[in-house]
Structure 1
Amino acid sequence: MRSVELFSGCGGLALGLSKAGFSHSMMIEWDEDAFATLLHNKSNKVEHVRHWPISKGDVREVDWSTVEGVVDLAAGGPPCQPFSIGGKHAGPGDSRDMWPEAIRTVRELRPKAFLFENVRGLLRPAFTDYLHWIEANLRAPQLEIQSDESMAEHSKRLQAAVDDHLYDVKILRVNAADYGAPQKRNRVIIAGIRKDLKVALHLPSPTHSHARLLWDQWITGEYWQRHGIAKPRSGPASAADRRLVENLRDRMIAPPGLPWKTCRDAFDGLGIPGKGSLSNHAFQPGARVYPGHTGSPLDEPAKALKAGDHGVPGGENMLVYPNGTVRYFTVREAARLQGISDEFEFPRSWTESMRQLGNAVPVPLAEIMGRAMLGLLNQRAPRRREAA
């Protein structure tokens, strides 16, 4: 299955889609440092990356007519800063808003399906009208906004033109931890599939859960046994988790699915920062706790990696040990929190590398969503019954 990708960043979404079975025909990234990271790993012949057709450029200048053949999937993570809770909240008024370009890509390529990712801030009430416009535009991308038409008027026209809808579209709020990433990363998935394929659009349900992690930690103790350490006598740290554990103990029925993955799970085998020959695993000094920036406990999924001022050089991208001491995540640890393999290297500084990782799509989330889209595209539209 052939795909094109916008806003590739350091490659998290592309890695997940490659693992799911997609072959990239074009990848676009404008940021010089992220592009350098992609080229570095392509030259190192990293699995999947070695075959990527990476281009540096501005998506606003891409001529999609140069893409030959059928495109099965258009994908990307439009810049999140206009909608991020930690940003300036300018939404469509922010020059970095690239949703119109994502829509143009769908309009001009007419892929069989598309898959876009963004921050959960896009779901805030302040952006409700804009989200409705995005959704309606993706349903009928061929109906462009007119020069004398407001966005609200265009949205109404799009929603009314039901017979002109080319795509079925779904919006799904996800937590990456629920899909196997060792990180609590709340995001929005906007996916669509062409209506003429006559395939119902279904997005995958969570595969991992918080409840199952608590079960493995505090009911069976399997989590601690797996890591070769004694179960702490203190029990769960938060009152909410203690209540949930009591409920689990009363019922004694194991929650379905797999447990959330924790920082301890993700960092297994890495060793002490600065020791050994593994790339990007150097100790970074200066971590400290202050109000609102308390780090990630070792035996929970990490808080969402952050790319802005409050993540780097702030206090969020750091690990908290059971004894309360803290340190920054190494770049290699942050890469593992995003599901990126140890052979994939980050050639820039710690700050720049953490920025790229803070903007990345977790590979496990991308892979599961990619496999779902691949499964839909592999379905054959049901044949019409011949008239008797």
Structure 2
Amino acid sequence: MTTSQHTVNALQSSLSGINSNAETSTRPLECVELFAGCGAMALGLQQAGFIHPVMVDVDAYACRTLSANRTAFGKSDRLSITQTDVRHVDWQAYAGIDLIAGGPPSQPFSGGGLGAGQHDHRDLWPEAIRAVSEALPRAFVFESTPGLLRPSFSQYLDRLVARLEQPCSIQEDMHYKVTVVPLNAADYGVAQNLRRVLIAGIREDCGNLLKFPAPTHNHERLVWDKWVSGEYWERHGLVRPDASFVPKEEVSIYKRLLKGNTRPAGAAWRTCRDALANNGTAAPAARFEDCTVRRAARQYPGHTGSQLDLPSKALKAGVHGVPGGENMFIDDKGACWQFTVRDAARLQGLPDNFVVEGSWSQGMRQLGNALPVPVATVTGLWLNDCLNLPV
């Protein structure tokens, strides 16, 4: 029997076994994750009802982090954490899995990179396509940098979507409905202005694509809570500042809200102060649960820290020399501090009992590459709904 014939038989057997019980089965949904990183995406998907039999990442510290938190991902006795290059994985073993998820390296497409795209050796989107083509999951979702939407990559993105719509050359009748979703994590309850892109697909015989959920949080409500009602300061046990302290980026919103005198719908953006649980003004010697000392940082033009009472700048995987000061914040006295690993974990929506293995630089690299937990949870619930729709 040829390899292609074996693949077809394996897929047909697995797919028929899953789909025959799709409407009546109460089994938990399963997700295979490649480029799993520290597991923030996996944790969010687990909160949405997906369990993980397999997680794959090439980085040793990321795999140590996954292992240290394996009980958080559900059915931990079945979870296999594999440290390997995804190019060495045979995805046929997971034929018919409910979901394949992951975050291919974004450096080839990010604004801070060389912008070499497919010519960058770190471009592993072909491996994401191969995983889908070999396993033919019921659904898939991959996350990446908004740089992928730049005009210079438009042809690459078009080809990528086309390949994902019909990924398997040996089963040409197997198609996916694919969507590209740009979003800001702050709009979904993350204390970061972090823009990401999701590329998701539903196999045509397994459900239908719904519109991605609308944002639940917004800047207007934060401005209202701070400068109109004062609820924000009260929640933090602080004296409400005079309106003359409204920052320039919020002045126009503040004036518009005063004129309309109507509280905006939805929830307020979460801020650094919210995420750090009132520890934003801690002394430099203060220690968090991971015993990491908060270190002073230096500001200069073009390299400034995040404001406490706004969502942070997007965390970056770079450690020293991050160009815009993304991995630091300014306290109430104007002093600037580096985020600790625990700070960064909180900004990514990870609970305080989540262990991040490695040094500060290794921890920040893992967290800077992560999809925030709340975004992954919203995504997982959305995909679950899509899979439950009639074909």
TM-based fold match above 0.5: yes
Q: Is the 8 A contact 2:46 2:73 kept in 1?
A: no
Consecutive unaligned residues in structure 1, runs of 5 or more: 145-162, 382-388
Matches within 5 A, 1:176-215: 176-215=185-224
Q: Which amino acid aligns with 1:347?
A: E
Q: Which amino acid aligns with 2:159?
A: W
Indicate the SS of the match to 2:199: strand
Identify the residue that residue 35 of structure 1 maps to in structure 2.
63
Aligned pair count? 358
Q: Which amino acid aligns with 1:171?
A: V
Cα distance, 1:142 vs structure 2: 1.7
Q: Choose from 353, 361, 371 the match for 1:343.
A: 353
Q: Which amino acid aligns with 2:157?
A: L
Identify the residue that residue 237 of structure 1 maps to in structure 2.
247
Cα distance, 1:270 vs structure 2: 5.0
Counterparts of 2:378 and 2:112, CA distance in 1? 27
Q: Choose from 312, 325, 333 the match for 1:323.
A: 333
Identify the residue that residue 16 of structure 1 maps to in structure 2.
44
Instruction: String of CA shifts for 1:328-369, please: whole Å, max 9, x gaps.
Output: 111101000000111111231111111111011100111111
Instruction: String of CA shifts for 1:115-174, please: whole Å, max 9, x gaps.
Output: 110011111111111011111111111249xxxxxxxxxxxxxxxxxx957011110110
Q: Tell me: CA distance 1:40–1:311, structure 2 relative to 1, closer, same or farther (3 Å).
A: farther
Q: Identity of aligned pairs, percent?
A: 49
Cα distance, 1:318 vs structure 2: 0.6
What TM-score, normalized to structure 1? Answer: 0.87
Identify the residue that residue 115 of structure 2 maps to in structure 1.
89
Q: Is the 8 A contact 2:319 2:364 kept in 1?
A: no
What TM-score, normalized to structure 2? Answer: 0.86
Q: Choose from 129, 132, 137 the match for 1:111.
A: 137
Counterparts of 2:209 and 2:60, CA distance in 1? 39
CA RMSD, Structure 1 to Structure 2 (Å): 2.1
Consecutive unaligned residues in structure 2, runs of 5 or more: 1-28
Question: Is 1:126 aligned with 2:152?
Answer: yes
Counterparts of 1:20 and 1:306, CA distance in 2? 26
Counterparts of 1:376 and 1:172, CA distance in 2? 15
Q: Which amino acid aligns with 1:315?
A: G
Matches within 5 A, 1:39-118: 39-42=67-70, 45-46=71-72, 48=74, 50=76, 52-67=79-94, 70-118=96-144
Identify the residue that residue 258 of structure 2 maps to in structure 1.
249
Cα distance, 1:34 vs structure 2: 1.1
Counterparts of 2:319 and 2:345, CA distance in 1? 19
Aligned structure 1 segments of 4 or more residues deviating by more than 6 angstroms = none
Q: Is the 8 A contact 1:9 1:359 kept in 2?
A: yes
Q: Which amino acid aligns with 1:67?
A: Y
Q: Which amino acid aligns with 1:223?
A: Y
Cα distance, 1:47 vs structure 2: 6.2
Q: Which amino acid aligns with 2:56?
A: I
Stretch deviating more after TM superposition (11-20 or 370-379): 370-379
Indicate the SS of the match to 2:181: strand
Identify the residue that residue 377 of structure 2 maps to in structure 1.
367
Instruction: String of CA shifts for 1:47-87, please: whole Å, max 9, x gaps.
Output: 6494532111111111112226x311110000111111111
